[in-house]
């Protein structure tokens, strides 16, 4: 997989993808690495040439260190307006306002949503970006949970779709969010739910506009320790009195020994409320299997295949393409049967 950070010139059949990284400073570099690894692995499996370009919204608040990294490695989102992409990934951001339209970057994000509909074959909207996109497209307001949805959750596939080909009916996906979009509102506006949590909350969903918009409320791109680092950050905020409630442990994530260690830590932290408690944070004893990785890989493999097919058709190079990715022929093979030699 190739990388471009500014203006791009690629061959006709290279899939050009933009990553608009809005994640907090502490996760900025990790997010780059996570998506780069996923796309590289998926592209290699499919034999597709992918070129990745990094973009940033200038309105997202940044530290000086993060701003220097962005200045060195990213293009501003304004460089997109006259340059169509094959695919786009837009990450979430840590919410600062209860209403999305009050976020400092709302105006440019809204413009990006409009632009993506006209200038990509498909766009992936992750977490908060998914909430922003449905608000912009169909005025669907997110709703706040009483407590943070945080951990690794069992999800069930709801329909057969080209993006879920070869993905098992039951999977696990990490989630870290305070908000949700109502399932009934999505259905009323012709969104299709791909996967759903056991509590009824929607995990992934899509809508076909001029572009195929893919909405992920979870984080299939996460590393094994991503939730652990978020949990540590939230504990530090409690100890520094930035928040008043001690954070709940991530659901379905730790083994029994780690749960016991964190239960003891929480008792100490609530009693003493000093940052010294973090010295007992059990990083070394932490052990978790990244059960969601195979599903994340398959999702992005399917997505790259869709982009390849759409680019082939739009360029007039209707090439024969091998669609056997491990799914039954009746479900996966027919998804791309329109592409003929």
Q: Do the Cβ atoms of 173 and 155 come closer than 8 Å?
A: yes
Report which DSSP code applies to 173: E
CA 224 to CA 227: how far, in whole Å?
8
**Can you read off the two tokens belonging to residue 166?**
């070869």
Catalytic, 221? Answer: yes
Contacts of 169 (CB under 8 A, 6+ apart): 156, 157
Residues linked to residue 149 through DSSP beta bridges, in sequence order: 177
C-alpha pair distances (Å), 147 with each of 21, 150, 249? 26, 9, 12
Nearest alpha carbon to residue 309 among 35, 13, 39: 13
Catalytic, 219? Answer: yes
- H-type helices in the chain, by residue range? 25-46, 64-73, 106-119, 128-138, 183-188, 226-239, 256-272, 293-314, 329-332
Which one is catalytic: 32, 46, 103, 221? 221
**Can you read off the two tokens belonging to residue 152?**
């690794």
CA 40 to CA 36: how far, in whole Å?
6
**Can you read off the two tokens belonging to residue 329?**
């022929």
Nearest alpha carbon to residue 302 among 42, 11, 3: 42
Nearest alpha carbon to residue 142 among 157, 154, 127: 127
Which one is catalytic: 51, 103, 127, 161? 127
CB neighbour class for 253 (10 Å; exposed up to 12, middle 13-18, buried from 19): buried
Which one is catalytic: 219, 230, 277, 295? 219
Q: Do the Cβ atoms of 249 and 231 come closer than 8 Å?
A: yes
Report which DSSP code applies to 47: T
CA 94 to CA 114: how far, in whole Å?
22
CA 104 to CA 289: how far, in whole Å?
37
Catalytic, 131? Answer: no
* Residues noted as catalytic: 127, 219, 221
């Amino acid at each position: 997989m190739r990388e471009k950070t500014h203006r791009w010139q690629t061959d006709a059949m290279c899939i050009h993808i933009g990553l608009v990284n809005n994640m907090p400073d502490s996760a900025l570099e990790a997010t780059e690495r996570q998506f780069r690894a996923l796309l590289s692995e998926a592209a290699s499996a499919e034999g597709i040439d992918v070129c990745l370009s990094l973009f940033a919204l200038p309105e997202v608040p940044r530290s000086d260190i993060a701003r220097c990294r962005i200045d060195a490695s990213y293009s501003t989102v304004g460089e997109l307006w006259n340059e169509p992409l094959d695919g786009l990934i837009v990450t979430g951001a840590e919410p600062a306002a209860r209403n999305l339209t009050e976020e400092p970057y709302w105006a440019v994000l809204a413009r990006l949503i409009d632009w993506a509909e006209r200038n990509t074959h498909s766009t992936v909207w992750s977490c908060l970006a998914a909430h922003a996109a449905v608000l912009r497209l169909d005025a669907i307001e997110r709703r706040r949970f009483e407590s943070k949805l945080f951990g690794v959750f069992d999800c069930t596939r709801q329909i057969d779709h080209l993006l879920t080909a070869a993905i098992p009916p039951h999977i696990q996906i990490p989630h870290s969010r305070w908000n949700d979009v109502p399932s009934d509102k999505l259905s009323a506006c012709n969104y299709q739910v791909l996967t759903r949590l056991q509590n009824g909350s929607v995990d992934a969903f899509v809508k076909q506009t001029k572009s195929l918009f893919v909405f992920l409320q979870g984080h299939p791109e996460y590393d094994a320790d991503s939730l652990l680092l978020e949990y540590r950050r939230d504990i530090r905020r409690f100890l520094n009195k930035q928040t008043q409630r001690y954070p709940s442990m991530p659901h379905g994530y730790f083994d029994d020994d780690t749960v016991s260690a964190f239960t003891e830590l929480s008792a100490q932290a609530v009693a003493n409320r000093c940052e010294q408690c973090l010295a007992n944070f059990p990083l070394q004893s932490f052990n978790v299997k990244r059960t969601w990785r195979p599903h994340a890989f398959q999702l992005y493999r399917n997505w790259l295949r869709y982009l390849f097919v759409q680019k082939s058709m739009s360029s007039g190079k209707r090439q024969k393409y091998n669609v056997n990715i491990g799914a039954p022929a009746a479900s996966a093979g027919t998804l791309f049967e329109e592409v003929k030699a």
